[in-house]
A and B are shown apart, each in its own frame.
Chain A
């Protein structure tokens, strides 16, 4: 008996196939049927599942890393080099643990959002100064605030040593401050600029004003002044005898506000006067910023671009913007708006999978549940995506142009074909079995054209190879 291409599919099947591939990391065999019970509800349930992951519980805390970092920097020279090597190696180990929930866990949509916001803040291995924090930042800033307000995530981010040290805010000194009157020093504007440009309004603001130019140089300086005194705790030298991990509970919190370098007086920021209030000034400014409609719209557009298409339709951006605004700048509501957006579920939209998407979805399609993350990381690296390979916000290329560049695309096809034939070379299933497998992991996404090509494949290995390189599988 030869399997026929179905004449039509139930709507819920179509939505389930989209949900699994576009918002999750691809379907496991049979998973689409399960999701089809309630595709939107499948996404929403993931957002509600806020239980911390036990596998990440025992990894080093920011306070510990900061203490080690300061000790290594004080020692300098060879000790500092050894420390950096150790931290780079440790990031590889942590990455292997962090990747497992995306493939084995029940919440692939949640994990995708974690990746998105990690890349949004850009604390990765591309910046050696903050590389030791790369995964701790994700654990302590991104994950706990994933469905809270953008304000909460932003506040956690700019209180974190990674952003303070990256922008040298610990050196920022206001002239009009207790210390500034006695000592020379300068105002650091890097953190304020990152907040305005990278995290809120996007590039194109600043002195010129104009479209998107919702802020001007005096606003930048005002925000920088509000942020004076936002610094890290200098951890006193510890006896080297006790291992750092065990000392961690005794370490002071990494963030510290130093009133002695904080700019006195009120600040005029984005058309509003902020009376002198120490650490509360920047918190108030953040609150205003994260409730600004233009900021919500930009975040919605970025998320839509990550999830849906390189150039997302306006309807999707509208839906997400509304979700964000409805919760007073809520990331959870924005992520939930995806579940209710017909435009976001439009089957014809196409987003080429990045290597991480592709590797996770191939492993899932093959029914694998790896116990260790290293093989996944190796395959992602083979396809050109290392461990958090960025050193700036939003630096990870997401566009089809980048990932389908000739040599990159050639290697991608090779990898897909190799893993398919290796996994299936012993499998003696007939063409029907192979086609059933294709429907199992793509559902209605499988086009009649590809169906016909798979139907004439010589064996299961070739069929899976063609499945993995097909347009439907390569896109989300």
Chain B
């Protein structure tokens, strides 16, 4: 943990170090460091950190839009009260600009918003846009990673982030990936990548729920509470299937298909790990031989089932906590870093019959960091039924690849020619998004 804590010295010295165990030494660091990459290295690095929120992130819970006349009706029970209204428990959303509000669970992000270093594009979709509106996690993730939905494209078999790293030239420390112990698809390719072994997040306790059952046996309070927490959602799981679960959750920090967490089915799983994963990544980034690119994959953003017990708020708290941790722990490097947070798609505008949210086309993209020009980015498509995408999600107003292009062009100084030839090749590519990175 890179938590700025110092352990107490107690009589039991074996335990004294518990609190401040540094995990960084666990990571192999055999890579030699070379000055190259067009000045984007060493002390002048301009890092890019990508946080992949697997499962499909609901932008309307992060950024409620009480200024949209259709908001309250469309969201039903999931609608937040208007900014400025009084709440007994749970603050009301925070008015950002008269139209958009920020979920109160993300209040820790306000300081970045006020510093004009937090950009949120509320309605973004990439190459994957099924005409029937039926969204598939695996296909959407592939499109997000490769930058194309065309399996015949030259880009289909590598990640755009890796292709961008190739353009930066060799000799740089490998990109760092945290999540599931494998190279994420967005970093697949010829540029070097170091995937942290899952153990850096601590091996999950195998069979935790079974062990908890033994611990709680006979307890009138915790026994039944556990039974309720591990009761599976029986109805919609048939419809979605196990493959859906694996695609939505697999490859997350600390979670792999072959290494189940043993978490209760009703937990938001990987999302909870985001602040800790962010601390690990930041500790790696700030090293003198730190990389210029890191990817964090977390799951827990799929939200089909009743969003009860403030689950959405806890997810957002995890995201906000991860971003804040990165900013704090990167220290001076934060001023030169761009942090990109995004998901393979968004959620439906209207809750389903369980009070959950099914898949929807456009989702939010967050961009934060010293070089970022803050604010709400892109047009607001509107929440009215006739404004939505097929399937009932938000209609996209920004192409994700336009954002990626702007970042690699202005932040990493890759030329438009290189971008168009190799990073995002092919016809029908959007132009770089205007006004996101300080030149």
Residues of A that sit less than 8 Å from B by CB: 28-30, 81-82, 84-86, 88-89, 91-93, 124-129, 131, 350, 352, 363, 366-372, 374-375, 377-379, 381-384, 386-387, 389-392, 395-397, 400, 404-411, 413-415, 417-427, 429, 433, 436-437, 440, 449-450, 453, 458, 461-462, 464-466, 469-471, 474
- CB of A370 within 8 A of CB of B321, answer no
Residues of the A chain whose Cβ atoms lie less than 8 Å from the Cβ of B201: 418, 422
- CB of B89 within 8 A of CB of A396, answer yes
A381's contact among B84, B108, B265, by CB below 8 Å, is which?
B108
- CB of A423 within 8 A of CB of B19, answer yes
- CB of B95 within 8 A of CB of A382, answer no
- CB of A368 within 8 A of CB of B86, answer no
- CB of B268 within 8 A of CB of A411, answer yes
B110's contact among A85, A383, A424, A465, by CB below 8 Å, is which?
A85
Closest CB-CB distance, B5 to chain A, in whole Å?
Answer: 4
Bound-state CA distance A399–B73 (Å) is 32
User: With an 8 A cutoff between CB atoms, is B6 at the interface?
Assistant: yes
Bound-state CA distance A360–B111 (Å) is 25
- CB of B20 within 8 A of CB of A368, answer yes
The winner among B17, B203, B272 for most chain A CB atoms within 10 A is B272
Bound-state CA distance A371–B3 (Å) is 9
Contacts A426-B26, A461-B202; A391 near B86 (Cβ below 8 A): yes
* Chain A, Cβ-Cβ closest to B20: A368
User: With an 8 A cutoff between CB atoms, is B219 at the interface?
Assistant: yes
Residues of the A chain whose Cβ atoms lie less than 8 Å from the Cβ of B12: 29-30, 436-437, 440
Residues of the A chain whose Cβ atoms lie less than 8 Å from the Cβ of B202: 418, 420-422, 424-425, 461
- CB of A423 within 8 A of CB of B231, answer no
User: 8 closest A-B pairs (Cβ-Cβ)?
Assistant: A421-B202, A410-B264, A410-B267, A368-B19, A381-B317, A407-B309, A378-B321, A404-B225
- CB of B272 within 8 A of CB of A382, answer yes
- CB of A440 within 8 A of CB of B15, answer yes
Q: Report the stretch among B51-59, B206-214, B424-432 that lies at the interface.
A: B206-214
Contacts A350-B221, A417-B205; A29 near B10 (Cβ below 8 A): yes
User: With an 8 A cutoff between CB atoms, is B276 at the interface?
Assistant: yes
A-B contact pairs, 20 of them (CB 8 A): A30-B11, A84-B94, A378-B325, A379-B321, A384-B310, A384-B313, A392-B88, A392-B89, A407-B309, A408-B310, A413-B229, A413-B263, A414-B261, A414-B263, A418-B276, A420-B205, A423-B19, A450-B215, A471-B216, A471-B222
Residues of the B chain whose Cβ atoms lie less than 8 Å from the Cβ of A390: 87-89
Contacts A374-B324, A410-B266; A391 near B87 (Cβ below 8 A): yes
Closest CB-CB distance, B1 to chain A, in whole Å?
Answer: 6
Bound-state CA distance A276–B86 (Å) is 36
B264's contact among A381, A395, A414, by CB below 8 Å, is which?
A414
Bound-state CA distance A95–B313 (Å) is 19
Residues of the B chain whose Cβ atoms lie less than 8 Å from the Cβ of A469: 208, 212, 215
- CB of B10 within 8 A of CB of A421, answer no
Residues of the B chain whose Cβ atoms lie less than 8 Å from the Cβ of A461: 202-203, 205
Contacts A375-B3, A391-B88, A471-B215; A413 near B96 (Cβ below 8 A): no
- CB of A387 within 8 A of CB of B107, answer yes
- CB of B208 within 8 A of CB of A424, answer no
* Chain A, Cβ-Cβ closest to B275: A378
A363's contact among B19, B230, B311, B324, by CB below 8 Å, is which?
B19
User: With an 8 A cutoff between CB atoms, is B196 at the interface?
Assistant: no
Bound-state CA distance A462–B208 (Å) is 9
Closest CB-CB distance, A232 to chain B, in whole Å?
Answer: 19
Bound-state CA distance A40–B250 (Å) is 51
Residues of B that sit less than 8 Å from A by CB: 1, 3-8, 10-12, 14-21, 23, 26, 83-92, 94-98, 104-105, 107-108, 110-111, 113-114, 199, 201-206, 208, 211-212, 214-217, 219, 221-222, 225-226, 228-231, 254, 261, 263-269, 272-273, 275-276, 308-311, 313-314, 317-318, 320-321, 324-325, 328
Bound-state CA distance A291–B186 (Å) is 68
Residues of the A chain whose Cβ atoms lie less than 8 Å from the Cβ of B310: 384, 407-408
- CB of A417 within 8 A of CB of B230, answer no
Bound-state CA distance A348–B104 (Å) is 37
B3's contact among A89, A91, A350, A370, by CB below 8 Å, is which?
A370
- CB of B18 within 8 A of CB of A427, answer yes
Bound-state CA distance A418–B1 (Å) is 11
Contacts A384-B310, A433-B14; A127 near B268 (Cβ below 8 A): no
Closest CB-CB distance, A104 to chain B, in whole Å?
Answer: 10
- CB of B7 within 8 A of CB of A126, answer no
Bound-state CA distance A389–B95 (Å) is 16
- CB of A377 within 8 A of CB of B108, answer yes
Bound-state CA distance A418–B298 (Å) is 14
- CB of B272 within 8 A of CB of A411, answer yes
Residues of the A chain whose Cβ atoms lie less than 8 Å from the Cβ of B5: 363, 368-371, 375
Bound-state CA distance A93–B111 (Å) is 9
Contacts A363-B19, A423-B19, A471-B222; A371 near B4 (Cβ below 8 A): yes
The winner among A367, A370, A471 for most chain B CB atoms within 10 A is A367
Bound-state CA distance A378–B274 (Å) is 11
* Chain B, Cβ-Cβ closest to A377: B108
Bound-state CA distance A437–B10 (Å) is 11
- CB of B311 within 8 A of CB of A407, answer yes
Contacts A85-B110, A92-B107, A386-B91; A367 near B86 (Cβ below 8 A): no
A427's contact among B6, B21, B97, B212, by CB below 8 Å, is which?
B21
- CB of B314 within 8 A of CB of A453, answer no
- CB of A391 within 8 A of CB of B91, answer yes
* Chain A, Cβ-Cβ closest to B322: A378
Query: Contacts A411-B314, A414-B263 given; 19 further ones with Cβ under 8 A?
Result: A86-B114, A92-B107, A126-B89, A129-B86, A367-B8, A370-B5, A378-B275, A382-B314, A386-B105, A391-B92, A400-B221, A407-B311, A410-B229, A411-B267, A414-B267, A417-B205, A418-B254, A466-B205, A466-B211
The winner among B11, B217, B222, B254 for most chain A CB atoms within 10 A is B222
Closest CB-CB distance, A4 to chain B, in whole Å?
Answer: 18
Bound-state CA distance A410–B108 (Å) is 24
* Chain A, Cβ-Cβ closest to B307: A407
Closest CB-CB distance, A442 to chain B, in whole Å?
Answer: 13
A421's contact among B8, B15, B203, by CB below 8 Å, is which?
B203
* Chain B, Cβ-Cβ closest to A387: B107
Residues of the A chain whose Cβ atoms lie less than 8 Å from the Cβ of B23: 422, 425-426
- CB of B19 within 8 A of CB of A383, answer no
- CB of B321 within 8 A of CB of A381, answer yes
Closest CB-CB distance, A393 to chain B, in whole Å?
Answer: 9
Bound-state CA distance A444–B49 (Å) is 47
Contacts A410-B263, A410-B267; A126 near B110 (Cβ below 8 A): no
Residues of the B chain whose Cβ atoms lie less than 8 Å from the Cβ of A369: 5-8, 19
Closest CB-CB distance, A323 to chain B, in whole Å?
Answer: 29
Residues of the B chain whose Cβ atoms lie less than 8 Å from the Cβ of A400: 221, 225
B221's contact among A395, A404, A458, by CB below 8 Å, is which?
A404
Closest CB-CB distance, A242 to chain B, in whole Å?
Answer: 21
A406's contact among B87, B208, B254, B309, by CB below 8 Å, is which?
B309
